[in-house]
Structure 1
Amino acid sequence: MNIVYMGTPEIAAVILEKLIHSKHHIQAVVTQPDKPKGRGKQMQASPVKELALNHNIPVYQPLKAKEEAFLAILKEINPDIIVVAAFGQILTKSVLELPKYGCINVHASLLPKYRGAAPIQWAIIDGEEKTGITIMHMDAGIDTGDMILKEEILIAPKETAGTLHDKLAVCGGSLLLKALEEIEAGTAVREKQEETEATYVKVLDKAMGHLNFREPAIKLERFIRGLNPWPSAYTYLEGKTLKIWDAEVLDETMDGQPGEVVRITRDSIVIKTGQGSLALKEIQLEGKKRITVDAFLRGFNLQQGTILN
């Protein structure tokens, strides 16, 4: 089929790579405009744009996909189908109805659960045992369209958003090709979502990463994994940001106040929480590299009783 592909971040680039090496023809790629990044604020292209340019695929970056000028371009391209994966913009009815086979979306959750922009992270934060990929026909709602195919993936005990992202990206590419084959053959079965089971997740931001040690240790540990690698979980040590990359839950009840360093071992810093304790294993002090706790303790004189806040 002739395809216009819409996507922006790394997960969308992995899926696009799979599509590039399939029998289908990618007429164009649509992605978000370049954005300033890093300390130098230099303009940086999205992973999808970089991949498309490497394969000599035309790239379009409309500020808004509903712009008349962009709609005219889409009509001229006249794709059989539009494939969307983490594009970052809501498509209007005029775009959704333009292709012969409509628009389909590769969504990183088992719909109708976890509609919205951060399903991978929230599945971990909420303690789900599994998640997956859903291929769905798009309608005017946010992730509300009819489902075509689903594939489940188990969430490992130490799964981070980063490792789960990589698994889902690979799964998404393979499932997309299967869905395209069924759509082209006219054998795709559309299943309506059960609205009573729908959940929506909010967008992540850096402020969310500030840990509240009054919460139970099990919740904090999931939070740390769910925000790894971005926006990352953190606290403050002596006025400096301390990012926490890995931690383990201890069922022990210890004396102290939430956020207090109640024990220091060779390779862990144990923090009192609202329920149980949290053993920090890998951390990163502001201005320093990410290191294991044993390496950190060799260069930092941390005292029992110190409060992280």
Structure 2
Amino acid sequence: MRILFMGTPDFSVPTLEDLINSEHEIIGVVTQPDKPKGRGKQIIYPPVKVVALENEIPVYQPNKVKNPDFMEVIQALEPDLAVVIAFGQILPKAFLELPKYGCINIHASLLPKYRGAGPIQWAIIHGEATTGVTTMYMDVGLDTGDMLLKETVEIQPKETGGSLHDKLSFIGGPLILKTIEALTDERLIRQPQNNALSTYAPMLDKEMGNIDWHQSADRIERLVRGLNPWPSAYTHYEGKLLKIWESDVVACNRLDIPCGSICEIREEGFVVKCKDGGLLIKSLQLQGKKRMSTPDFLRGHQIRIGQELCQIVE
């Protein structure tokens, strides 16, 4: 089958590599434009582009997919199928109708749950026991197309956004190959989504990591894991941003201090009072410093009971 691949970040790479190593022909790769990065504003290729160039596959980087000139280029390629995974643009109806068999998306959730840009992290933050990957036919809505195949993954007790991202990224390739095989054998069953069961997973931003210590310890612990490694959960210590990388839910019986205050200092870290219970901070990173264990941090800072870590509203 002649496949047009559409993807951009690291998450898309394992699927592209599986398709390259399959019996199918990858006639082109569509990805987002190159972007400057860092203080030197060096132009960085999207990860998918790097893999495509290494395998001598033509790369297309339209600012907008709906651009008429780009649409003509894709039409001339005569793709049988477009495979889309974390591409980064909404595809117009005219584009969805170009490939012979349409466009199939690989989405990192068990649809209809967690439609949107941040399904991996929100599944952890909301305390889901399982998540997974769904292949679906694309329509003009946001992850609303008919579902095809699914694979379920358990979310481990200490799963982070990073570890779950990596697990799910390696599921996409085998699942899309199974989907394409069922498509060519005419045994692929389309299952419409139940919109009443849908949930939305909005795009992540740095502000959502600003810890509100008036929330439950369970909720904050999941936020820490879900936003690890990006954008990270954080608080403020003596006016400096303090990222929290690892934490455990523990008891905190101090009724005489407000939420966000340090209520206990232990060998493995310090405990911050939350709405109900406490959060044991085991690994952190002070602004301008490297990530370190909390015991190492305590050796260089005079933390005291009752000292407040605050949520600064900017």
Shift of 1:126: 0.3
For 1:78 and 1:158, the matched residues in 2 are separated by: 46
Number of aligned residues: 309
Partner SS for 2:171: helix
1:291 alignment partner in structure 2: 292
1:280 alignment partner in structure 2: 281
- Contact 1:254–1:277 (CA<8 Å) still a contact in 2? no
| Pair 184,85 (structure 1): closer, same or farther in 2 beyond 3 Å | same
Partner SS for 1:136: strand
| Partner AA of 1:270 in structure 2 | V
1:248 alignment partner in structure 2: 248
Query: Are 1:59 and 2:55 counterparts?
Result: no
| Pair 252,307 (structure 1): closer, same or farther in 2 beyond 3 Å | closer
| Partner AA of 2:102 in structure 1 | G
1:136 alignment partner in structure 2: 136
Q: Cα deviations across residues 242-263 of structure 1 (Å, max 9, x unaligned)?
A: 0001100013332321111111
For 1:208 and 1:143, the matched residues in 2 are separated by: 23
- Contact 2:252–2:273 (CA<8 Å) still a contact in 1? no
- Contact 1:217–1:274 (CA<8 Å) still a contact in 2? yes
Which has the larger displacement, 63-72 or 38-47? 38-47
2:271 alignment partner in structure 1: 270
| Partner AA of 2:218 in structure 1 | I
For 1:254 and 1:120, the matched residues in 2 are separated by: 35
2:200 alignment partner in structure 1: 200
For 2:265 and 2:24, the matched residues in 1 are separated by: 57
| Partner AA of 1:127 in structure 2 | G
2:262 alignment partner in structure 1: 261
* Structure 1 residues 165-244: aligned runs within 5 Å: 165-244=165-244
- Contact 1:244–1:282 (CA<8 Å) still a contact in 2? yes
Shift of 1:301: 2.2
Shift of 1:73: 0.7
For 1:2 and 1:253, the matched residues in 2 are separated by: 63
Say what the alpha-carbon RMSD is for the aligned residues. Answer: 1.0
| Partner AA of 1:301 in structure 2 | Q
Q: TM-score, normalised by structure 2?
A: 0.96
| Partner AA of 1:300 in structure 2 | H
Identity fraction in percent: 53
For 1:215 and 1:34, the matched residues in 2 are separated by: 40
1:36 alignment partner in structure 2: 36
1:75 alignment partner in structure 2: 75
Q: TM-score, normalised by structure 1?
A: 0.98
Shift of 1:173: 1.3
For 2:248 and 2:36, the matched residues in 1 are separated by: 36
For 1:5 and 1:246, the matched residues in 2 are separated by: 37
Q: Which runs of 5 or more residues in structure 1 are unaligned?
A: none
- Contact 1:248–1:279 (CA<8 Å) still a contact in 2? yes
- Contact 1:253–1:275 (CA<8 Å) still a contact in 2? no
